[in-house]
A and B are shown apart, each in its own frame.
Chain A
Amino acid sequence: MHFNYELFLNYLIQGLANGALIALIALGYTIVYGIVELINFAHGEVFMMGAFLAFTIVAATGITSTDPLYQIVGVFLIALLGAMIFSAAINFSIDRVAYRRLRSAPRLAPLICAIGFSFILQQIAIYWKGPVSISPPPLIPSDYRTYNILTELFGLETKVRLKPIDVAVFVITIPLLLLLTWFIRSTRTGKAMRATAQDQQASALMGIDVNRTISTAFVIGGLLAGAAGMIALYYNNIARAQMGFRYGLFAFTAAVLGGIGNLSGAVLGGFLIGFIWAMSDGMVKEYIPSWGAQWTNSVIFGILVIIMVFRPSGLIGEHTTEKV
């Protein structure tokens, strides 16, 4: 059987882009889990709210794909920043209003609250923009929607397509990932977060304000989720109140797959799931005609089960030092 490498590369690009988005969201699950051992089930909705705010900002400016490029880039960046701040504020508030009061309560109490917030945010979103899928105002100039960087810029004769939006995804996510790594590894606050994740009492004895450090974790998770929301909005050209569910579930799975609490693990898991997602949604059909995208969830969770059986603490779990 002939291996269609051009098709493969196309799905690989799509997989990496989706993987980058999942990684951004997965980091929010893992950072929060690392520090308070709570699965923040509302995190997918925090991501969705970022996308919704970005939508609203772009619509409010009235700028569309026919405006000058600098205005388009400008509004894109403003919407990105707005989404990040908005999602961070939501995540921070949920922690302040509910989780913080339940720190010493049984584990199930904050967990059920998280599920509650997930539904509340979805309802707010439905009230905000209606129950059906909506397309964001077009921002990407029509020339660029079909523009293939590999052909136009590098003069390659190929069916592999690298679109500006793909590049935009990486240009935004990779610096964010590097910034986060640097922040956690090297800054005073980042070290305080790691210390708090390892021993809260001892951290308090060092003079670390544990509550503030936990808030910081929620804020960082929210910032990343908001950025992912804005990017997803324009990568998929669609938004709906339930969009947080699939991304959230995949991101949570990515975090568990990589080793919950572990930053590199979340990123690795994110890319892995993005890759499987793209392959299962598209590539496999080439070889198994009866295959369809509806199989993707089963494949992803099947792989999750297999990895969990052999490595219960995730791909990079337990023995590493890079937990938050």
Chain B
Amino acid sequence: MAMLELSEVNTYYGNIHALKGISITVDKGEIVTLIGSNGAGKSTTLLTISGLVPPRTGSITLEGRSLTGMPAHAITGLGVVQSPEGRRVFPRMSVLENLEMGAYVLRRVDPEDLERVYELFPRLKERATQKAGTLSGGEQQMLAIGRALMGRPKLLLLDEPSMGLSPILVDQIFSIIREINQQGTTVLLVEQNALMALSVAHRGYVLQTGEIVLADSAANLITNDMVRKAYLGEE
């Protein structure tokens, strides 16, 4: 049984039909990536899974249990944690408080979790008492990912984790994604940087104006002509 299964999901923003009957599965232990150009519906897919933009029709199940109609906070409570697009850190709270909010679902902060996040992002430890709103964009991105990890996700939804990061940090973020995956976290990754995403993922889906147009292993997608032309910028 798939860990996460979306079947025939249709999501609307008012009259805008953003997801047109998409079906996606993510198995336990996998890294699955969702690629597609701007406005394809990648973020909408993650918001729909998290319950912030509920689907109008279709079903979403986590380990066989229906998430349909569940409020967002309850879905997070089941271990589906999202690091949203645009970081969305709490600007007037300190770095440490932001990380504590990440552990909100666990009721208490485990010092070991905090140490682990600080190990992954030593910069956050240096800035622990600084207000998150005064961090640089890249630092905020680290905080957003660190905050999501504090909730000990079963399934981690990452929306463009490499956005705004320098090339060295992008490499670092992707090796961190691989690492936390090896430690047992399942990952659904949305990326503009399709090459990077496909190099770290096991499987991928290509989304185009709200529809899945391709689904394959990452290795196959990386050599697929259409993917190479449209998303990897090759002629």
B105 engages A207 (CB within 8 Å):
yes
Q: Total A-B residue pairs with C-beta atoms closer than 8 Å? A: 70
With the chains together, A204 CA to B97 CA distance in Å? 16
A188-206 to B contact mask, C-beta < 8 Å, 1/0: 1001101100110111111
Docked-complex contact A201 and B52, CB < 8 angstroms? yes
A195, A201, A205, A210: which has the most chain B beta carbons within 10 Å?
A: A205
In the bound complex, do residue B90 and residue A195 qualify as a contact, i.e. CB atoms below 8 Å apart? yes
Closest approach, in angstroms, between the C-beta of B25 and any C-beta of chain A?
22
Is A201 in contact with B91, judged by CB distance below 8 angstroms? no
Interface size class of A (residues with CB under 8 A): 10 to 19
State which of B50, B90, B102 has its C-beta within 8 Å of the C-beta of A198: B90
Chain B contact residues, majority secondary structure: mixed
User: Chain B residues near A194 (CB, 8 Å)?
Assistant: 90, 92-93, 97
User: Does A205 lie within 8 Å of B97, measured CB to CB?
Assistant: no
> Which residues of the other chain, B, contact A323 by a CB distance below 8 angstroms?
92
A65 to B89: give the CA distance in the assembly, Å: 56
If the complex has contacts A191-B97, A194-B92, A201-B88, are A206 and B71 also in contact, measured as CB distance less than 8 A?
A: no
Is B105 a contact partner of A206 (Cβ separation < 8 A)? Answer: yes
B residues contacting A by CB (< 8 A) are 50-52, 71-73, 76-77, 81-82, 84, 88-93, 97, 100-102, 104-105, 107, 131, 147, 151
Per a CB cutoff under 8 Å, which of B51, B131, B151 touches A206? B151
Query: Would you call A204 and B52 a contact (CB within 8 A)?
Result: yes
- Find out whether the CB atom of B52 lies under 8 angstroms from the CB atom of A209: no
B48 to chain A minimum Cβ distance, whole angstroms, is 13
**What are some 14 contacts across the A-B interface (CB < 8 A)?**
A188-B107, A191-B100, A194-B92, A198-B90, A202-B88, A204-B50, A204-B52, A204-B76, A205-B72, A206-B76, A207-B77, A208-B73, A208-B101, A321-B93
Contact B71–A321 (Cβ < 8 Å):
no
Whether A205 and B82, one on each chain, are in contact in the complex, defined by CB atoms closer than 8 angstroms, is yes
Are B90 and A207 within 8 A (Cβ)? no
For the complex formed, measure the closest distance between the CB of A191 and the CB atoms of chain B, giving whole angstroms.
6
Neighbouring B residues of A206 by C-beta, 8 Å: 73, 76, 101-102, 104-105, 147, 151
Find out whether the CB atom of A191 lies under 8 angstroms from the CB atom of B76.
no
